[in-house]
């Protein structure tokens, strides 16, 4: 038997362990909620994450196109990019799959001497991680650009408002000065 066969056989167990390892990166209360709530409308983060890793796992077992892999990575990474994770914490979940596979298939790998196949699978996982990092950086760049745009817009609006106030004060001052001049002329007559 090949490693691919074992990965297919134990898909559910490996996916559940991988999902648990991802949830363990969250605070305990959040992890409990994400584990317990199965409704995708009440738990979109958990549902998106599980669907994403399920597709990633399928593409790991089969030879996948990079575009399809990046699509499912993107859905997970976008969530993690806006959360309070460092870059390494955001993509660490991919690397945890290596440990899950090794733990679940330890006996099969030893018995059938599948170390070379395991190495090939680990290289694919490494490629997933590199792709995830690229996606993460694009997401963070977009977030920072949005913040810059928001700040520029805020500054522009403040300057506009200050300009309007200044113009009103200038108009008031001009009218006031004209009144004083008019009164002086009237008094001088």
The 10 Å Cβ neighbour count of residue 11 is 14
Residues 6 or more apart in contact with residue 98 via CB below 8 angstroms: 122, 125
- pLDDT tens for each residue of 130-172: 999 999 999 999 988 988 888 887 777 777 777 776 666 665 5
pLDDT of residue 10: 95
Q: Where are the domains of the chain?
A: 3-142
Q: How confident is the model at residue 173 (pLDDT cuts 50, 70, 90)?
A: low
pLDDT of residue 180: 59
Residue 122 has pLDDT above 70, yes or no: yes
Distances in Å between the Cα of 113 and the Cα atoms of 3, 108, 178 are 10, 8, 98
pLDDT of residue 160: 75
pLDDT of residue 132: 95
C-alpha 10 chain-centroid distance: 29
First to last CA, the chain: 115
Give yes or no for a contact between 135 and 94, defined as CB atoms under 8 angstroms apart.
Answer: no
Its CATH architecture, for the domain 3-142, is: Orthogonal Bundle (1.10)
Give yes or no for a contact between 100 and 20, defined as CB atoms under 8 angstroms apart.
Answer: no
Identify the top-confidence range among 86-95, 156-165, 177-186: 86-95
Q: What is the mean pLDDT of residues 13-34?
A: 93
The 10 Å Cβ neighbour count of residue 4 is 16
Helices (H), the chain: 3-9, 11-23, 28-36, 44-61, 66-81, 87-104, 106-111, 115-188
pLDDT of residue 65: 72
Q: Average model confidence (pLDDT) for the chain?
A: 86
pLDDT of residue 38: 81
With tokens 């004060």, the residue in question is 169
Q: What is the mean pLDDT of residues 86-109?
A: 94
């Amino acid at each position: 038997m090949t490693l691919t066969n074992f990965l297919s056989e134990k898909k559910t167990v490996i996916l559940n362990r991988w999902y648990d390892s991802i949830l363990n990166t969250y605070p305990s209360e959040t992890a409990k909620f994400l584990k317990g709530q199965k409704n995708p409308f009440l738990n979109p983060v958990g549902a998106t994450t599980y669907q994403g890793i399920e597709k990633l796992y399928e593409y790991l077992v089969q030879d996948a196109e990079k575009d399809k892999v990046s699509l499912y990575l993107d859905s997970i990474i976008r969530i993690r990019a806006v959360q309070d994770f460092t870059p390494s914490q955001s993509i660490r979940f991919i690397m945890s799959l290596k440990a899950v596979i090794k733990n679940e298939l330890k006996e099969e790998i030893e018995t059938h001497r599948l170390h070379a196949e395991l190495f090939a699978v680990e290289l694919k996982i490494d490629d997933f991680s590199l792709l995830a990092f690229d996606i993460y950086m694009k997401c963070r760049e977009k977030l920072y650009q949005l913040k810059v745009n928001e700040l520029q817009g805020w500054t522009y609006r403040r300057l506009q408002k200050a300009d309007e106030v200044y113009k009103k004060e200038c108009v008031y001052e001009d009218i006031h000065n004209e009144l004083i001049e008019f009164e002086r002329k009237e008094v001088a007559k």
